[in-house]
Amino acid sequence: MVKHSEKAFHKGRILIPAITFLVGTVLVFAGISRGEMAVVLRKAIHICLECIGIG
């Protein structure tokens, strides 16, 4: 028989990652809708070019 505290622990073990995933997904889509993806890509290219000595 499963105790009440074990059920709550199991529920929390599933609920916390699910909420974190949903919040992360919402924030990713918010960044994409604001055009942040292009800004991040531009910065990444600039950093890579600096690392190899071209930029």
Task: Determine the residue type at 6.
Answer: E
Predicted local distance difference test score (pLDDT) of residue 4: 66
Measure the CA–CA gap between 27 and 21, rounded to whole angstroms. 10
pLDDT, tens digit (0-9, with 9 covering 90-100), for 5-53: 777 667 778 899 999 999 999 999 999 999 999 999 999 999 888 888 8
Cα angle: 39, vertex 44, 45; to 5 degrees: 100
- Residue 27, CA atoms < 13 Å, CB-side half-sphere: 6
Confidence of residue 2 (pLDDT cuts 50, 70, 90): low
